[in-house]
Amino acid sequence: MVLTVLAVSFLTFTAFSVIPGNAATSILGTEATPEKTAALEHELGLDRPFAVRYAVWLGDFLRGNMGTSYSYRIPVGELIAGKLSVTMTLTVMSFLMILALSIPLGITSAMHMGKRRDRLIQVTGQIIMAVPPFFMGMVLTLIFGLGLKWFTPGGYVSFQDNPAGFLGYLICPALAIALPRSAMSGRFLRNSLVKETPLDYVRTAYSRGNDSHGVFYGHMLRNAMIPTVTFLAVIVPEIVAGSIIVEQVFGIPGIGRILLSSISSRDYPVVQAIVVMITILVTGMNFLADILYHKLDPRVGLS
Amino acid sequence: MNGIMMKTKRQKNRISTDGSSWSFRTGAVITVVMMALIIAGFFWTPYDPDAMKGSEKFLSPTFLHIMGTDNFGRDILSRVLRGAGTTFIIAVVTIVCGALAGTIIGAVTSYIGGVTDEVIMRINDMIASFPSVLLAMVLISLLGTGKYKIMAALVIVFIPSYARVMRSEFLKYKNMDYVCSAKLMGAGPARIVTRHIFPLCVPALLSSLTIGFNNAVIAEAGMSYLGLGVQPPDASLGRMLAEGQAYITSSPWCVLGPGIFMILMILGAGLLGDGIGDRMGGH
């Protein structure tokens, strides 16, 4: 896990170092003179060898200093701290929505396997799966914002000003991210439940006099959850990526906007910091999934 | 108990036959219609997609303009057809190049095995565990924006998933008896991989190509929506959505046309892929 984060940070650092274009000249713009450029390069530490720069960056990062933004000239940590928490809230909300939607739907679908209710859920799921999250955001804006007037599009309030309003505003974006993924994971759970049905232990459980309800919740669900947990861990990065885009639809000042502006202004310390933070988040989630995996299925060892 | 078993068996059969042919047929119909529209759009569109008309701004859908007109008075259907063409080409190039590179990586690493395999697959997993849109954004920030840059970025993003699928497929057949006998008969590695193992991996490849197509369409649209993908004057569904969003209150057809077209493209390929996957599982 630590190795992955190190490798990603090294790779992005290398990538941003080898690309053409000089950060110092792009900051100075038209005012660039050779002397000024050299001075700024020295100030930013760009005149030192690559290995030294990486070591310095890594050391600073571990001490919580993520460098200074080229274009804003303030520490990156300050710049992204508030934004990261907005994006994190959005991500967690959509993840909870995925759990709340996909598990009951997957179970209902599997319990009525092949019947009308199952078919209805499957077909609706197929259609929802085909909707890209940002377009789903627009559709939700049309329905809930403009049609039903449940929220004001673009009426974002910060957590400090109005915590309830903040969470209320995030419901629609979170739903836009969650809906397509819920359809996917619900279908995944249904299929893994269906796969359990013909197995011997299910027959044994029935022959011991359990009713189908007991067999379902007591025996099959636990086994079917194992692959589903892996699937849920795999979609976490996609939820983060989805929130970067969906934030733009709803005008939420999260990590997405700052990432976009730093990509277009080539503000690499900011991009680098965001990339590494997201890597830490993703590997952390995978680690949690591994632990949960072990809890669900004791046969799986923790390595 | 016997009744239960029979019931589950019968239900299982019903799903695998009815379900798969339903999704295969529906998917095939949607895909054929969308493909026909897109291919037609390369040669002919109802209006010039770039022709602006000041007097015809924000017309709601009518028979003359089936999807209405946008803020410059351009016909949305014509732009959708042209934009879908761009999206389609980018998606196809992405999955074909990605699948080609992924297959080669998967075949070589699974055949060589050992440390090379371990190292390459570790790197592969690392890239795969990273949010795909974010990776594409980082690559775009390195490469710059534009039609070809986004293709290059998406190919890199898509290689790992194919490499993983193909590697596990190759591993499945690598130690089969018939491969051993082919080796004994003097076939070299290249012949074994291309002639004896690869044909068996084609169904899995096809199924992941349709999934990849959908992911590529969504990724391209997302990037273009953010302004990092296709640049004007090229039309793209994602860009149209970004431009139309400003007028969503007064003229929602500016986003509904491109959005619904994109959903149908993805839905068709998705259902088709499901159908192929289910039929494959039956063998």
Section A101-113 average pLDDT: 88
Best to test chain A binding among B24, B124, B133, B134 (most A CBs inside 10 Å): B134
CB A177 within 8 A of CB A89: no
Q: Alpha-carbon distance A128 to B93, whole Å?
A: 26
Q: How far apart are CA A82 and CA A93, in angstroms?
A: 17
- B8 with A132: Cβ contact below 8 A: no
Nearest to A241 among B132, B259, B274 (CB): B132
CA B88/CA B29 separation, integer angstroms: 17
Q: What percent of chain B has pLDDT over 90?
A: 6
Q: How many CB pairs under 8 A join A and B?
A: 129
Greater model confidence, B44 or B177: B177
Q: What angle do CA B264, B75, B148 make, to 5 degrees?
A: 65
B131 to A238: CB separation less than 8 angstroms, yes or no: yes
Q: Give CA–CA dist A194/A198, Å, rounded.
A: 8
For residue B73, the distance in angstroms to the closest alpha carbon of chain A comes to: 22
Between chains, do B262 and A8 touch, taking CB under 8 Å as contact? no
- Select from B132, B134, B263 the Cβ nearest to the Cβ of A130: B263
- The residue in chain B having the minimum alpha-carbon distance to the alpha carbon of residue A137 is B245
| A26: closest CA of chain B, how far (Å) | 14
Residue among A261, A265, A258, A263 nearest A29 (CA): A265
CB contact under 8 A, B129 and A4: yes
A191-213 residues labelled b (16+ CB within 10 A) or e (exposed): bbbbebbeeeebbebbeeebeee
What confidence score (pLDDT) does residue B155 get?
A: 92
Beta carbons of B11 and A114 less than 8 angstroms apart: yes
Residues B46, B71: contact at Cβ < 8 Å?
A: no
Please give, rounded to a whole number of angstroms, the shortest distance from the CA of A130 to a CA of chain B: 5
pTM for this one? Answer: 0.81
Contact A263 B228 (CB under 8 A): yes
Give the tens place of pLDDT for each residue, A239-252.
Answer: 888 888 888 888 88
Mean pLDDT value of segment A130-134: 87
Q: What's the pLDDT score for residue B12?
A: 46
CA distances from residue B76 to A13, A80, B33, B237, B238 in whole angstroms, order as listed: 43, 39, 19, 11, 13
Contact A240 B131 (CB under 8 A): yes
Could you tell me if B191 lies within 8 Å of chain A, comparing CB atoms? no
Average pLDDT of every residue of chain A = 80
Cβ–Cβ under 8 Å, residues A222 and A296: yes
Interface of B with A in 142-161 (CB under 8 A): 142
**Residue A25: Cβ within 10 Å count:** 16
Give pLDDT, residue B19.
55
- Amino acid present at B144: G
Confidence of residue A182 (pLDDT cuts 50, 70, 90): very high
Strand residues in chain A grouped as ranges (E): none
The number of residues making up chain B comes to: 283
Q: Which residue type does A161 have? A: D
Mean pLDDT to the nearest integer, A168-178: 87
Instruction: Check whether B11 has a pLDDT greater than 50.
Output: no
ipTM score: 0.77
Instruction: In whole angstroms, give the CA distance from residue B4 to residue B60.
Output: 57
Identify the top-confidence range among A258-272, B83-97, B160-174. Answer: B83-97
Give B20→chain A minimum CA distance, Å.
12
Between residues 108 and 127 of chain B, which touch chain A (CB distance below 8 Å)?
126
Where do the domains of chain A lie, and which CATH numbers do they carry?
Answer: 2-62 (no CATH), 78-296 (1.10.3720.10)
- Say whether B83 sits in a helix, a strand or coil: helix
Which pLDDT score is estimated for B240?
86
Chosen for mutation from A135, A181, A265 (greatest number of chain B CBs closer than 10 Å) is A135
Chain A CB contacts of B218 under 8 Å are 132
Q: What is the DSSP string of B232-261?
A: TTS--HHHHHHHHGGGTTT-THHHHHHHHH
Residues in chain B closer than 8 A to A142 (CB atoms): 248, 252
The backbone region for A133, taken as left when phi is positive above 0, alpha when psi lies in -120 to 50, beta otherwise, is alpha
Tokens 């629609």: give the residue: A172
Q: What is the pLDDT of residues B71-107, one digit of tens each?
A: 776 777 888 888 888 889 999 999 999 999 999 998 8
The residue to which tokens 């929602």 are assigned: B252
Calculate how close chain A gets to B37, using CA atoms only, in Å.
19
Element (H, E) at A168: helix A163-196
Q: Which positions ≥6 away from B244 have C-beta within 8 Å?
A: B70, B251, B254, B255, B258
| Cα A273 to Cα B137: distance, rounded to the nearest angstrom | 14
Provide the pLDDT for residue B16.
46
